[in-house]
Amino acid sequence: METLSENTCFGGVQGVYRHASDACRCDMTFGLFLPEEAKDGPVPVLWYLSGLTCTHENAMTKAGAQAWAAEQGIALVFPDTSPRGDGVADDESYDLGKGAGFYVNATQTPWAPHFQMWDYVAEELPRIITANFDIDEDRQAITGHSMGGHGALTLAMSLPGRFRSVSAFAPIANPTQSDWGRKQLGAYLAEGADWAAHDSSLLMQESGFDGPVLVDQGSKDQFLELLRPEALAQAMVARRQPGTFRMQKDYDHSYFFVASFMEDHVNFHAEALYAD
């Protein structure tokens, strides 16, 4: 693993690291914020999954999460959103290919050789993080924005016991019924594959989450028709899922929205991470 940068941040360290990924068969880059408490032993961790077109850097520099994580003594992990490199397949559109891994394991040509983002985020990167940094692997939570909100919710519901809490900012909530989903799932997994396993509204109907859930959605989000938040809200109500779904008046899809409610989300996760 190569250290690309380390900067003192709110008493802790914001680092950026690169490593050779077995899952994605290319070099991958991630950001990691360690609070000051990590000097004395393992700390809880909150994973942040970013959205379409983003890298590890967007949330790391725009979400304002480090200030609140430092107050709570929580580490933050910022993975990239896709494999990168000259040999990695891409598409001319912004919502497929590089920057748009959708947190699935691709099975179709030309994506399958590198686009194994589910395995990368669910298995490989956690092993690297816990092996190299003072992270308490028994105290994990996950959040994300847009495509990353989709990833956070589907990972949390598909990996029982892994995460103590899950939250999302404007998640792609019902991708099997949206152009943000059908396009990517059709390309990566093909028609007829198990798309339901990557649809948080369907997973909520089927199994729910064994912990608290928080979802924030802006009422003036320019992508509301693609996100389909009503499907997730209805599924939460039908299942009587412990959690909160908030429609935030006048907010859009930008990082101004994310930063406005990041304190709420970090504190929400801190309550679960320190519950015992």
In this structure, what CATH number is given to the domain that contains residue 123? 3.40.50.1820
Report the alpha-carbon distance of residue 226 to residue 222 in Å, rounded. Answer: 9
Q: Please, which pLDDT band fits residue 194 given cuts at 50, 70 and 90? A: confident
Among candidate residues 168, 147, 61, the one with its CA nearest the CA of residue 104:
147
What are the φ and ψ backbone dihedral angles of 259, each rounded to 5 degrees?
-65, -30
How many CB atoms sit inside 10 A of residue 141's CB? Answer: 28
Give the orientation angle of helix 65-72 with respect to helix 255-273, to 10 degrees: 10
Report the alpha-carbon distance of residue 69 to residue 75 in Å, rounded. Answer: 7
Q: Please, which pLDDT band fits residue 193 given cuts at 50, 70 and 90? A: confident
Q: Is 253 a catalytic residue?
A: yes
Kindly report the average pLDDT of the chain as a whole number.
97
Pull the structure tokens for residue 264: 């709420």
Q: Are strands 166-169 and 243-248 parallel, antiparallel or unpaired?
A: unpaired
Q: Is 207 a catalytic residue?
A: no
Q: What sign does the CA torsion over 173, 178, 180, 181 have?
A: positive
Per-residue pLDDT at 103:
98
Q: Please, which pLDDT band fits residue 191 given cuts at 50, 70 and 90? A: confident
Catalytic residue among 21, 82, 146, 201: 146
Per-residue pLDDT at 9:
98
Interval 216-234 mean pLDDT: 98
Per-residue pLDDT at 204:
98
Interval 227-232 mean pLDDT: 98
Catalytic residue among 80, 199, 216, 221: 221
Q: What is the pLDDT of residues 233-274, one digit of tens each?
A: 999 999 999 999 999 999 999 999 999 999 999 999 999 999
Interval 29-58 mean pLDDT: 97
Burial (0-12, 13-18, 19+ Cβ within 10 Å), 250: exposed
Q: Please, which pLDDT band fits residue 55 given cuts at 50, 70 and 90? A: very high
Catalytic residue among 114, 145, 198, 253: 253
Q: Is 221 a catalytic residue?
A: yes
Q: What sign does the CA torsion over 181, 183, 186, 191 have?
A: positive
Domain with 13 in it: 2-273
Interval 220-237 mean pLDDT: 98
Centroid of chain to Cα 81: 9
Interval 29-43 mean pLDDT: 97
Per-residue pLDDT at 276:
81
Task: Report the side by side order of strands in the sheet with 75-79.
Answer: 2-9, 12-21, 26-34, 75-79, 43-49, 135-144, 166-169, 213-218, 243-248
Q: What is the pLDDT of residues 150-189, one digit of tens each?
A: 999 999 999 999 999 999 999 999 999 999 999 999 999 9
Per-residue pLDDT at 135:
97
Number of independent structural domains in the chain: 1
